[in-house]
Structure 1
Amino acid sequence: MNNELNEFDAVMEQIGFGKVHCYVMLTLGLLQMLTIHETMGMGIIAPSAVCDLRMSIVQVSTITAAAFLGIICSSYFWGYITDKMGRRWILLHTISISNICSIISMFMVSFTSFFVMRFLTGIFVAGPSFVAVTYLSEFCNKQILARTVTHMYMFTGFAMFYCPSWATLFLSSNFMDFEIGFVGRLTLRPWRVLGCMFMLPGVIAFFLLLRMPESPKFLFMVGETKQGMAVMDWISTKNTGRPLSPEQVELMLKFQESTGVMRQKRSNNFLQQMMNDAMPLFRKPYVGFYVGSCSVMFSLGLVANGFGIWFTAMRNRSNMRLDNKSDMTLCKILFSTAAKIEDSEPDLVVACNDGFMGFNDSLILGLTYIILYNVCWLMLFFLPRKALFIAALVISSSCGFALIFVTGRWLQLFAFVLFIALPGVVISLLGGALLQFVPTHMRAKALCISLMWCRWGAVVGTTIVGIYIEKSCEMTILVVAIFPMLSASIEGFLPL
């Protein structure tokens, strides 16, 4: 495994971090934003669509989970195809189709059609959700990989800031309060336009990606030596102003010799071949680390995405209470009446309402993500990755437990924010660790399977919260808050 990386790392270290890496990080960071918008953004869109689509709280939970389900169903397929066809090829095709499905979904007039289109969007968003970081890793040597991936994932924070910023304009502004009738039951409302705005980063990333080459590591892996050399020359020219030196060319030729992927006996059965190609991940030397990582991913996805997707709706519900809340816990604020999370209070708004009182709390969540990613990037220079992970998850669990008891707006807000943001950051860092642990020819499959477990966690978390939190708020939060502590216990045994 280490021999595969030596020559490539040596050349990349000589080339150094430069314009190419910044361009790649920007492009793939925008794709990370697209992924967050199309999944977590439903935490804003779905409650806003309640009136138009006549949805119950269970149906809202289903809609918020639809894209996650699509990602789960298609992730391994895209991972398998990515390791066959290339990273850039998959990204261009999946971005295009996911954007089309996303736009169509915003013009659906029933719960069923909306769910189907969000599910299809998730199927194609699965591509950039894990291929982006795989692609980025193959432009980096292992010395800068963890910190570069951390910076790319920092765009998660920008996405968390982007969504409520646009939502403030479209859902909290009288200026954007409109209703335009189209065909039949279809009416153009602010939430539909907002959903279309969420795909803008993906459109920009698509055009930026057109100017990028295929991953050099992938090209060498599949035996495309001439194209791989051309890409390395392009990187060197952009970063240093000169092409590869003869010594660097010689190193890359040695790297080509060492990247010969063991040719397994091919099966005529496509599904059987997909299974066979994933089996090395579940054998030594990878199995212990990999199974443990998938377990941690499930737990973290349940907290950061499953519970986190309800953050905006819960904070909106809390802000709509006009009575004295200073001595009330979060659960009492949310459910001291029989109203549901996404509905307005009966004593505040009589008619069905798809507006929000404001998104300041969601903006704070986005800023917290950005700050935490930068803090983690800085601390990676001084602390072991394992210690950083465990500390973050212990703090997250503590904040989750505190959320049951604390009173006061700001204490509740920051306990809530750290409870869901810290696991979200650890998901990203663990993905970077996984990329260092497995060889190039298995990276896409390894990452997509682990993130598939993360999405399963998100689906389970979203469903649990949607169905049970009103019936038993404190117990639901308590159960969810145990998962970061459980993840910290597992990570203590992983070779991070």
Structure 2
Amino acid sequence: MYLVGFGVYNILQMLLSGFILMGVIMQSMVMGYVMPAAQCDLNLNLTQRGWLSAIPFIAIIITSYFWGWIADTRGRRFVMLFSMIISAVFSALASFAPEIYSFAVLSFISSIFMSGPSAVVYTFLGEFTNIRHRDKIVAFGSSFVGIGTLVLPAISWLILPLEFTYPIEFLGINYRPWRLLLVACALPFIIGTVFLMLAPESPKFLCASGKFEECLAVLRKMYTINRRLPEDTYPVKALIPEAHSCKANENTGIAAILFSMKEQTTPLFKLPLLPWTCLTCFVQFGIFATTNGFFIWSPTILNSLISHEGNQTRICDVMDAVHAQVSANSTQVVCNDVINTTTFELSIYLGLVFCSMYIIVGFLVDFMGKKLILVVLLAGTGLSGIGAHLAYNQHLAIVLFAVLMMSGACIGLMNAVTVELFPTKYRAMAVCLSMMMGRVGSMTGSNLVGLFLATNCGVSFYLFAGIIILCSLSCLFLPGKNKGPIVTKPTDEETRNEAQEPA
């Protein structure tokens, strides 16, 4: 990979992967904006809104393992092409759902396929870049997650206030703005699919699969674009076959599939990979639980603070007062699907903060290294979470609350750590497992934050700030900068050979 250089090709690959990541975050979070606007059309109560908002996370938890196995046996590009287009189609179909059950089923199917690129894209991007520049390129690619959190409320602000209504008689529905928003958030996947069709498979995967001529063709193209030299001047003329190549599994049948999945997973839970599997899964769980747990409830929290009249007081004092007022007034939910534009404005400001942090991390990672950034950033955001609860100045509380959610900027870095630690054969599976645990964290965090906001608000801040600080301490055990994949025991021939970089 060093011979092909680093340049325009890698930047284009980063932009493509980032665009796909932006589609993932928009598909994952769009329910938070759709549910308030759709509650009248679908006759939703608060409990149903909560479960529908959790559908993307449930789908990713259930299917991440499966997508990791396919990516390690069939290819990274294949998984993303196949899953993105189907996810976009079912998302568009969900916009025509007449009632809650069909909407839930179609959204769930769309989310199942959305989970395909959600973790595989990090592996895909990392394997096009040599170790020297991998941290930086993955960090910048991850910044599109922050861009997605900025684009989503902006698009919602453009679409949801519209007042059009188009009746579709045979479905018995009125096509309203919230339905159009579902289609709009699927567009990044459609555009990403078109551009991905022009991109090749990961050269690392091709080499590990024994497809040496195809791997060389990709490397020559990268060499030509990065170094602006003819392909025939590329010094490598042939690749030496490894003792083992992870060719795509050609066996069929459930038994063969289960055996293949077992073969891909078992090494992750054996030494020397087991400690790193546990560490990456735990840290991703903590980051996702905190970031997404609070992000889903951030419009509620921020709007309550902005609407508060009276003396300066803590976030939780305001939330307790709002909850007490709602409980005292009525137990019946009034159907009101009008969304205050303040929600969009505040969400855009949060998106700007996220983008800034992602970009800053991308510039600093080459100088400080992933380990130091993870330790410092996670510790700082955790302490800010405690400060957000204790602050009586509401402006300061909002700033500290935003900083707490900036721990999400470490998701990409942890994926870069995983790509670096694990051999090619198990890399996509390792990333998918850690991301699956992250989505479990999202589910856990969103439900616990909602529960504690209604019962004991302060616990939510102390609990998740403490988890983030514990994640920071766990990152102290990570190896130093760019140590390369962990090599397993000499008897495990396949993993040992995977530790080598292709030319």
Q: TM-score, normalised by structure 2?
A: 0.87
Moved more, 152-161 or 361-370: 361-370
Amino acid across the alignment from 1:394 = A
Match of 1:160 among 149, 154, 158: 149
CA distance in 2: counterparts of 1:426 and 1:379, whole angstroms: 13
Amino acid across the alignment from 2:31 = M
CA distance in 2: counterparts of 1:36 and 1:481, whole angstroms: 23
Quickly say closer, same or farther: Cα 1:55–1:30, change in 2 above 3 A. Answer: same
Aligned to 2:185: 198
SS at match of 1:389: helix
C-alpha deviations, 1:334-357, integer Å up to 9, x for none?
34234899x9x99xx986133123
Match of 1:18 among 7, 19, 22: 7
CA distance in 2: counterparts of 1:15 and 1:426, whole angstroms: 29
Counting aligned pairs with the same residue, the percent is 29
Aligned to 1:32: 21
Quickly say closer, same or farther: Cα 1:354–1:295, change in 2 above 3 A. Answer: same
Aligned to 2:347: 362
Do the aligned residues in 2 keep the contact of 1:43 with 1:309 (CA within 8 Å)? yes
In the TM superposition, what is the alpha-carbon distance from 1:28 to its structure 2 partner? Answer: 0.9
Q: Which runs of 5+ in 2 are unaligned?
A: 481-503
Aligned to 1:8: none
Quickly say closer, same or farther: Cα 1:220–1:381, change in 2 above 3 A. Answer: closer
C-alpha deviations, 1:355-403, integer Å up to 9, x for none?
1232222111111112111211222232242221111111111121122
Do the aligned residues in 2 keep the contact of 1:20 with 1:235 (CA within 8 Å)? yes
Match of 2:386 among 384, 388, 401: 401
Q: Residue 231 in 1 paired to residue 215 in 2?
A: no
In the TM superposition, what is the alpha-carbon distance from 1:279 to its structure 2 partner? Answer: 0.8
Q: Residue 180 in 1 paired to residue 146 in 2?
A: no
Aligned to 1:481: 465
Amino acid across the alignment from 2:374 = F
Quickly say closer, same or farther: Cα 1:123–1:350, change in 2 above 3 A. Answer: closer
Amino acid across the alignment from 2:209 = V
In the TM superposition, what is the alpha-carbon distance from 1:329 to its structure 2 partner? Answer: 2.2
Aligned residues: 473
Do the aligned residues in 2 keep the contact of 1:402 with 1:415 (CA within 8 Å)? yes
Q: Residue 415 in 1 paired to residue 400 in 2?
A: yes
Do the aligned residues in 1 keep the contact of 2:40 with 2:335 (CA within 8 Å)? no
Aligned to 2:131: 142
Quickly say closer, same or farther: Cα 1:220–1:412, change in 2 above 3 A. Answer: same
Match of 1:443 among 413, 427, 431: 427
In the TM superposition, what is the alpha-carbon distance from 1:263 to its structure 2 partner? Answer: 11
Q: Residue 389 in 1 paired to residue 374 in 2?
A: yes
SS at match of 1:447: helix
Do the aligned residues in 2 keep the contact of 1:33 with 1:201 (CA within 8 Å)? yes
CA distance in 2: counterparts of 1:410 and 1:177, whole angstroms: 34
CA distance in 1: counterparts of 2:103 and 2:258, whole angstroms: 30
C-alpha deviations, 1:42-82, integer Å up to 9, x for none?
22222332232232322222112111110111111111111
SS at match of 2:399: helix
Q: Which runs of 5+ in 1 are unaligned?
A: 1-11
Match of 1:458 among 431, 439, 442: 442
Find runs of 4+ consecutive structure 1 residues off by over 6 angstroms.
none
Aligned to 1:121: 110
Amino acid across the alignment from 2:218 = V
Match of 1:63 among 52, 56, 73: 52
Amino acid across the alignment from 2:220 = D
CA distance in 2: counterparts of 1:87 and 1:351, whole angstroms: 44
CA distance in 1: counterparts of 2:243 and 2:350, whole angstroms: 45
Do the aligned residues in 1 keep the contact of 2:38 with 2:178 (CA within 8 Å)? yes
Quickly say closer, same or farther: Cα 1:386–1:86, change in 2 above 3 A. Answer: same
Q: Residue 491 in 1 paired to residue 491 in 2?
A: no
Match of 2:41 among 35, 52, 55: 52
Do the aligned residues in 2 keep the contact of 1:47 with 1:313 (CA within 8 Å)? no
C-alpha deviations, 1:321-343, integer Å up to 9, x for none?
2x5255132233334234899x9
Do the aligned residues in 2 keep the contact of 1:170 with 1:177 (CA within 8 Å)? no
Amino acid across the alignment from 1:82 = A
CA distance in 2: counterparts of 1:80 and 1:271, whole angstroms: 10
Do the aligned residues in 1 keep the contact of 2:208 with 2:247 (CA within 8 Å)? no
In the TM superposition, what is the alpha-carbon distance from 1:209 to its structure 2 partner? Answer: 0.8
Do the aligned residues in 2 keep the contact of 1:61 with 1:462 (CA within 8 Å)? no
Aligned ranges 1:81-92 → 2 under 5 Å:
81-92=70-81
In the TM superposition, what is the alpha-carbon distance from 1:244 to its structure 2 partner? Answer: 4.8
Moved more, 112-121 or 145-154: 112-121
Aligned to 1:43: 32
Do the aligned residues in 2 keep the contact of 1:67 with 1:120 (CA within 8 Å)? no
Aligned ranges 1:272-421 → 2 under 5 Å:
272-319=259-306, 321=307, 323-338=308-323, 352-358=336-342, 359-421=344-406
Q: Residue 432 in 1 paired to residue 416 in 2?
A: yes
Quickly say closer, same or farther: Cα 1:243–1:75, change in 2 above 3 A. Answer: farther
Quickly say closer, same or farther: Cα 1:268–1:167, change in 2 above 3 A. Answer: closer
CA distance in 2: counterparts of 1:283 and 1:292, whole angstroms: 14
SS at match of 2:41: helix
Moved more, 191-200 or 432-441: 191-200
Amino acid across the alignment from 1:181 = P
In the TM superposition, what is the alpha-carbon distance from 1:239 to its structure 2 partner? Answer: 1.9
Q: Residue 170 in 1 paired to residue 159 in 2?
A: yes
Moved more, 145-154 or 276-285: 276-285
Q: TM-score, normalised by structure 1?
A: 0.88
RMSD between aligned residues: 2.7
Aligned ranges 1:105-120 → 2 under 5 Å:
105-120=94-109
Match of 1:471 among 455, 460, 463: 455
CA distance in 1: counterparts of 2:193 and 2:369, whole angstroms: 36
